[in-house]
Amino acid sequence: MKIDGYTRVCGVMGCPVEHTMSPAIHNTLAESLGENLVYVPFRVPAGHAGDAVKGAFALNLLGVNVTVPYKSEVIPFLKEIDPLAETIGAVNTLVRTEGGFKGYNTDMPGLYRAMCEDGVEIAGEKVLILGAGGVARAVAILAAEKGAGRIVILNRTQEKAQKIAEEVNLLAGRRLAEAKALEEYASLPAEKYLAIQATNVGMFPKVEKAVIEDAAFYEKIHTGYDLVFNPARTRFMSLVRESGGRAFGGLKMLLYQGIIAYELWTGAEIDSELAGKAYGEMRKAMKIE
């Protein structure tokens, strides 16, 4: 990699950020495309998200990814926000424009692109979402926008799930989503669901955990998506497969949210071959065989 006075800089801001796999994506893309661009992590201390956005613009950064805990905190410091990001209430990609950054959310388009590659449809599906945090809310909005037939949100605190269901129903203009307490999972009709695991349960280092352990629950799932990407195979995924369903992890979502960000920054179009190369570099960085 050659760095000179013309090198453009992109990066990811968060806290912590040392574990990020994003440099493996973006530096692979830049090198493969012959772009004079480098991507680095930026650890931003609590309370300094606004300073980081202003500093990134002042330093002429081409673009910035935003990870926890700043995806909502950066919004007041943006010049403009994309409608999807505004609806979701979270930004993970800043694109340089005249006079400031424009904020986008590429997480949900990244998830959708990953699902399409894996042959998973949302349209017409009964979608079951585990969790009621910011990620679960975004997934529920995505499911509604892509034509889910029904959405059920399971969460330990039913009130949080109910709030998301009401938001989704308002956006959809009909009663599309409903909320249930986590312990009510056994009352779900004996149907087959597309289940999306949107909590951090099972994330490294507590890899032996799943939100629900009951095998009877997993018999109702034909396809499970765990948005956790470390480990590459989670306990949730194993339980889905043991009950005969298909299961996918969050690594491809991470890949495609990065690819979409790179396309926004550079105007490049990343084909499947190059996406596969970047995916391989991510797996190497995570020491996945």
Which residues participate in catalysis according to the annotation? 71
- Type and span of the H or E element at 267: none
- The closest alpha carbon to 278, from 85, 25, 67, 84, belongs to 25
3-state helix, strand, coil in the chain (%, to 5): 40, 20, 40
Q: CA 50 to CA 37: how far, in whole Å? A: 24
Please, what is the angle between helix 272-285 and helix 251-266, to 10°?
Answer: 120
Q: List Cβ neighbours of 26 (8 Å cut-off, separation of 6 or more).
A: 10, 37, 39, 258, 261, 262
Residue 75: DSSP 8-state:
G
C-beta separation of 33 from 25 below 8 A: no
